[in-house]
Structure 1
Amino acid sequence: MASTSGSTRPSALIGWRVLALVYDLWPVVAMWMVASLVFTVGYTLSGHASRENIAPFSALQWGLWLVCWLITGAYALLSWRRGGQTLGMRPWRLKVVAADGVSAPGLRALMLRFAVGTASLLLAGSGFWWAWVDRERLTWHDRASGTRMVRLAKR
């Protein structure tokens, strides 16, 4: 897909996507830390010693992982719905759009994009690296959700 500035090169190269992910990691980690604090305080208030570790693979630990995943999803979905961009996508001028390259995608498409993107990351990022061999430079979550990431022209 050509960029919106009339260039013939792909609009959202994998490098730009990785930079946006790294940038987005920081606000998400801050939200995870708040969630972890709430879980830790709750664990301590439920009668456990303040220095007692949460048992590995316990329901509480899986619950924390689920809450962190939901926080990340809420951050991404709200950002994409509000303007097609997360905080990390703005400096690199990236935007999520529908398959037509112009209109905003629906909530269902964005939820599917997040779910498949999560699976892509869990499989060592293979869904992202797929963009290197794809003719249109699309990732697995682009294809599955019918969305595209485009690079906006400089103002």
Structure 2
Amino acid sequence: MARRFPNLDDVWPAGLGRRLGAMLYDAFLVVAIWLLTAGLHLLAVRHLVGLPAEQVGVGFLQVASLRLIMLVSAFAFFAFFWCRGGMTLGMQAWRLRVQTRDGHAISLRQAMVRYLVAWLSVAALGLGYLWVLFDAERRSWPDIASGTRVVVLPKPAR
């Protein structure tokens, strides 16, 4: 059974500004993961496969495998944090949490749908996230497609 989050009456739907702030923070983390991933891919191609330096990065298989590994590594980052506690590191900084409509941690399937639709939302020139401005419940396309919602957490009591 998925973990249920406490204090559900104290949260409210997240607006576009907070979402974009958290996305910017997370983008820096994903770029760092991608740099590490690309470096490991380079080492594997260079030393395990034994290609000379001038042939590294040449050819469909090398390019496709690197892109696939980068997409999978980014998904692993988001899915780990979303399914575990509902918050990536960027979301923690902006006091956001992704959860099911009834306040539980999201499933791996929901994380996959969120991730795939997020790419679609960005590919549509951000329209999937601008949708928050027009939706009565402030839901983005990833929220709608995965049956989740992003909420703002109250400031912690001092």
TM-score by length of 1: 0.86
CA contact (8 A) 2:98 2:150 kept: yes
**Counterpart Cα distance in 2 of 1:54 and 1:92:** 38
Q: Does the 8 A contact of 1:97 with 1:104 survive in 2?
A: yes
* 2:14 pairs with 1:16: no
- 1:4 is displaced (CA, Å) by 4.5
Q: How many residues align?
A: 148
Which whole-Å CA distance do the structure 2 matches of 1:55 and 1:4 have between them?
55
Query: 1: CA distance between counterparts of 2:17 and 2:81?
Result: 21
Q: Following the alignment from structure 1 to structure 2, what is the Cα–Cα distance between the partners of residues 104 and 42?
A: 36
User: Where does 1:49-88 land on structure 2 (aligned, <5 Å)?
Assistant: 49-52=52-55, 54-55=57-58, 58-88=60-90
CA contact (8 A) 1:94 1:151 kept: yes
1:106 shift after superposition: 2.2
State the shift of 1:48 in Å. 3.3
Identical residues among aligned pairs (%)? 34
Amino acid corresponding to residue 127 of structure 2 in structure 1: S
Matched, 1:31 2:54: no
Match of 1:92 among 94, 98, 103: 94
Query: Does the Cα contact within 8 Å between 1:4 and 1:153 map onto a contact in 2?
Result: no
TM-score (norm 2): 0.84
Question: Which has the larger helix fraction?
Answer: 2
The SS at the match of 2:139 is coil
Aligned partner of 2:44 in structure 1 is: 42
Q: Rate the CA distance shift 1:44–1:142 in 2: closer, same or farther, 3 A.
A: same
- Please name the residue that 2:107 is paired with: 106
Mapped to 2, the partners of 1:107 and 1:141 lie a distance apart of 14
Identify unmatched segments of 5+ residues in structure 2: 1-7
What amino acid maps onto 1:41 in structure 2?
Answer: L
**Which stretches of structure 1, 4 residues or more, deviate above 4 A after TM superposition?**
none
> CA RMSD for the aligned pairs?
1.9
Task: Say if 1:4 and 1:152, in contact at 8 Å, map to a contact too.
Answer: no
The answer for the alignment partner of 2:130 in structure 1 is 129
Change (3 A) 1:50 1:110: same
**Contact 1:4–1:151 at 8 Å: present in 2 too?**
no
Letter in 2 for 1:136: E
